[in-house]
Amino acid sequence: MIEVKKLVKRFGDFQALHEVSFKAREGEILGFLGPNGAGKTTTMRILTGYMPPTGGTATIAGHDVFNDSMAVRKQIGYLPETVPLYPDMTVQGYLEFAAELRGVPKRKQRIREVLELVGMAERSRSLIRTISKGMRQRVGLAQALIHNPTVLILDEPTIGLDPHQVSDLREFIRSLGGQHTIMFSTHILTEAEQVCDRVVIINKGQIVAEGAPNELRDALQINSRVYVRVQGHYDIAKLAKSLEGLAGVSSVEAHGDALVVTSKAKHEVRPAIANTIAQQGLALLELRPLTVTLEEIFLEYTT
């Protein structure tokens, strides 16, 4: 649905994108993850036809974003990072304006549907300047959805919202997957993990990793770690020493009264740990694997 090939963008001397390539399949929610200034907004602006690329190509639903910009613009719904609202218009008026520009048939009905969808039906008469940040975000989203686009491009849609609104919005975006192809940028890792089917990590204008959140974890081959806790008082250093001697264990660290055992990738050390503890006459309280978070993957790739 979205296909980006070797996209390059230069602003004067500064190169914002270095041959960026990725794909999003139909109905997929693609997370575009990267620190601030990584090139997320630039990529999205090229995809939406706001600015041309310096090199490379990008197509949306088979239309080139530069040569066939009008066809692309008809297919996409776009929510830029700064929500583009006219403060002096009412919510209803703003959506009517957007719907008219989009040539939406049966406008009144569609506006009602979209307002229901984003939960703004009661505030349709309010002036945009009087509504809260979270509501503005939802009005912006309603604008992007008004023509039921095949592709939805959302630039950091959860920024500046309170935690409650953030989780609502994530759930909402999740619910839109399947019907729309969604490309969604964020610099928050848990968000990408919760919402997206696939994640593309970008840093300094380059794609550094791509895949489903769990695939990325496997690809990284970070050693697996096990958290161990034993009941009562015991000689922590002695236990650590004996665990270090086990086959496959690369290191043991003490974390308060618990131990974190790091083992080589895909080496199952838990039975051996349990045995050792039992042999020393200690009562095992907790033994659980620590999963690698996307956070660690992200830091690994972007530093």
Q: Name the phi and psi angles at 76, rounded to 5.
A: -105, 150
Cβ-based neighbour number of residue 193 at 10 Å: 19
Output 84 or 119, the one with its CB closest to another protein.
Answer: 84
DSSP H or E segment with residue 17: strand 14-24
N-to-C CA span, the chain: 31
Contact status: 74 vs another protein (CB under 8 A) = yes
CB of 142 to another protein, least distance (A): 13
Q: What is the CA radius of gyration of the chain?
A: 25
Q: How many residues contact another protein, by CB under 8 A?
A: 28
Q: Could you tell me which stretch among 43-51, 236-244, 274-282, 294-302 binds another protein (CB under 8 A)?
A: 43-51
| Whether 98 contacts 143, CB under 8 Å | yes
Among 10, 73, 112, 267, interactor with another protein by CB under 8 A: 73
Among 32, 78, 184, 298, interactor with another protein by CB under 8 A: 78
Contact letters (x/-) for another protein, 133-172, by CB under 8 A?
----------x-----------------------------
Output 17 or 294, the one with its CB closest to another protein.
Answer: 17
DSSP H or E segment with residue 279: helix 270-279
Among 76, 166, 249, 272, interactor with another protein by CB under 8 A: 76
How far apart CA 231 and CA 206 sit, in angstroms, is 48
Contact letters (x/-) for another protein, 84-103, by CB under 8 A?
xxxxxx-------xx-xxxx
Helix residue ranges per DSSP H, 146-269:
163-176, 189-195, 213-220, 236-244
Binding stretches for another protein (CB under 8 A): 11, 45, 48-52, 70, 73-74, 76, 78, 80, 82-89, 97-98, 100-103, 143
